[in-house]
Structure 1
């Protein structure tokens, strides 16, 4: 079953309101479409007579050396699409040797997510995603929970000073979680009502001081997610970021920004090798992974495809998604004459049909 077939099976399986929540984007969903379409504008220019029968696709990420350059990007409310929710996703990611980024909007508490990952593999890598919060004690409490659970890195999402406007959710009246579901990591935080909240706290007043404070307050590496401007990438590194994730939130925030992969080369140049640069948004096939790595990404994240796999087949579906992308990438690397990830270089990416 291909990833597109898994997507279609998930669409038929899910309540249409839940499907629209996951599938939808901000505004007219132009950026949502652009993230995938941008990869179609790139082609790979292979090298020949320099390959290997066995490729080494291992990647060294902050706090998490892994066997392939693909990670599970943070996505919300997995229990809405499958009863096992984040537990199934955690077991699948660990079994496939991929980093899982869980976070503030998970419907399973981070300690349970990490425990599930450890059931599937002895050395799982779980990162915890959070947003800049105007109250330092709330951020500190979330960080302590992630540290105590055994997370190996933090991911600060910085592209969400306010919620994006989703026409599908407004049309469907999806303004709160159904009874029995909650953002479990928000339970019993300072100033928060018991039971958790759907409206994850975001702060339009957040500044670079929030990042610096977060870095000072933890021994875990902190990656900054949602960066599109080169100057912001430089600022993030200067304020202590251990990595940059180039992302437009899967097209769910602003509908007026570029596709994530189109921003990647400028941010790689801005960072100049000081920290790893990762990417999420629009990756749907192994050749997309290869394009991103050739343009300078250390690894790429999968969001919606993981949710579609979970909805269609539970834990097995998530494993299928990750294994498919890993195998397709390895195959593409071989066709490009590569032995390892670093053999993919920017000169091997060209415009397709004069698109650029």
Structure 2
């Protein structure tokens, strides 16, 4: 049953305290924590606070809207739900509740490979466009099967995460002794052939020389993936303009500027800080999405002004999910969309194409 939204929630950030009360310390460490000292995790939000807006007055706002086209989708506003693993850690209905909340608000949902509900069940529940986030698995034939399953039930694009050949050093999870509870698992990975035992020699590092990095995906694997699917392929986890250009040259449908929510390599810059350089390098040849640190509709505005086509949110909607199920997810989207529209009206922007870098004061 969907819980009621607490009456004193006025902004997306208000959900965080309620979510923490409703989750176990272990689950909270997993869903809210970052890598190492969590410098990148914190900087993702701080970057938006360092940017100011310049308003414009007396503009003609008749006929204003927030609609856009993105990789074949007609969306009402430029906010998507990012892939988040194991959502049953936050709410018993997990990804099914997120799909319901996204459907209520007409937002596209990106489903994680490590979802705690099958991609087929999510597709049956959703009344909104779905993309499938894919890790290219060491078992390439299993990866092929995942792609086929996503295509078969109507997912509209593949979002390939490329910045995590290994997990980051998540000390907060370690201190909380995080382990998946009974009843929560990556159900879409059932039946996948496991990696063989490490063959690292005594005295060597635990990674280099092991099968794990030997099977890590490369640009050739991206080409292979594109060859086996009819779906648009976006790459997620790009922070370097050189990689963005190379991805475009490989024919991707879009680039997601992301540092994995600060969960892989600590010490990376905030996504908003690298966005302008990536936008300059890509020159509009493909859509740019951004995730990491978005907590306000003004944050969405700032990202679009600095070169993004749309944004994805992760932790904010999971906080809504933990607090009030599907209603919380929908409310988070409603708050952000409303704040974006207010910011547009107060800066003289009637459509998303009016949002320019000239409206940002850095």
Equivalent-residue separation in structure 1 for 2:145 and 2:73 (angstroms): 23
Q: How does 1:193-212 map to 2 (within 5 A)?
A: 205-212=216-223
After superposition, the Cα gap between the structure-2 partners of 1:145 and 1:53, relative to the gap in structure 1 and judged at 3 Å, is same
The alignment of Structure 1 onto Structure 2 pairs a total of residues equal to: 337
Q: Does 1:182 align with 2:185?
A: yes
Equivalent-residue separation in structure 2 for 1:249 and 1:66 (angstroms): 24
- Deviation of the 1:132 alpha carbon: 2.5
Equivalent-residue separation in structure 2 for 1:214 and 1:302 (angstroms): 26
CA RMSD of aligned residues (A): 1.5
**Which piece of structure 1 moves more, 40-49 or 108-117?**
40-49
Q: Does 1:140 align with 2:149?
A: no
Q: Does 1:77 align with 2:76?
A: no
Question: What do the CA deviations read for 1:277-300 (whole angstroms, capped 9, x no partner)?
Answer: 000000000100000001110100
Among residues 37, 44, 47, which one is paired with 1:38 in the alignment? 47
Among residues 5, 11, 33, which one is paired with 2:14 in the alignment? 5
Question: What do the CA deviations read for 1:195-239 (whole angstroms, capped 9, x no partner)?
Answer: xxxxxx975632111111111111100010000000100111111
1:251 alignment partner in structure 2: 262
Question: What do the CA deviations read for 1:122-144 (whole angstroms, capped 9, x no partner)?
Answer: xx210000112333212201101
Unaligned runs of 5+ in 1: 119-123, 194-200, 352-356
* TM-score computed with the length of structure 1 as normaliser: 0.92
Which structure would you say has the larger Rg? 2
The answer (yes or no) to whether the contact 1:32–1:250 under 8 Å persists in 2 is: yes
Among residues 47, 51, 63, which one is paired with 2:56 in the alignment? 47
Q: Does 1:350 align with 2:361?
A: yes
The answer (yes or no) to whether the contact 1:246–1:260 under 8 Å persists in 2 is: yes
1:276 alignment partner in structure 2: 287
* TM-score computed with the length of structure 2 as normaliser: 0.90
Q: Does 1:110 align with 2:119?
A: yes
- Deviation of the 1:62 alpha carbon: 1.1
Equivalent-residue separation in structure 1 for 2:268 and 2:115 (angstroms): 26
Equivalent-residue separation in structure 1 for 2:212 and 2:107 (angstroms): 28
- Deviation of the 1:54 alpha carbon: 4.6
2:168 alignment partner in structure 1: 164
- Deviation of the 1:257 alpha carbon: 0.6
- Deviation of the 1:63 alpha carbon: 3.1
- Deviation of the 1:179 alpha carbon: 1.6
Q: How does 1:292-311 map to 2 (within 5 A)?
A: 292-311=303-322
Unaligned runs of 5+ in 2: 1-8, 196-210
Question: What do the CA deviations read for 1:67-87 (whole angstroms, capped 9, x no partner)?
Answer: 000000111111111111100
Among residues 339, 342, 346, which one is paired with 1:328 in the alignment? 339
1:19 alignment partner in structure 2: 28
Equivalent-residue separation in structure 1 for 2:64 and 2:339 (angstroms): 12
**Which piece of structure 1 moves more, 278-287 or 177-186?**
177-186
Equivalent-residue separation in structure 2 for 1:292 and 1:86 (angstroms): 26
Question: What do the CA deviations read for 1:231-281 (whole angstroms, capped 9, x no partner)?
Answer: 100111111210000000000001111000001011111111111000000
The answer (yes or no) to whether the contact 1:55–1:330 under 8 Å persists in 2 is: no
**Which piece of structure 1 moves more, 54-63 or 164-173?**
54-63
1:121 alignment partner in structure 2: none
Equivalent-residue separation in structure 2 for 1:100 and 1:203 (angstroms): 30
Q: How does 1:257-268 map to 2 (within 5 A)?
A: 257-268=268-279
Equivalent-residue separation in structure 1 for 2:228 and 2:57 (angstroms): 49
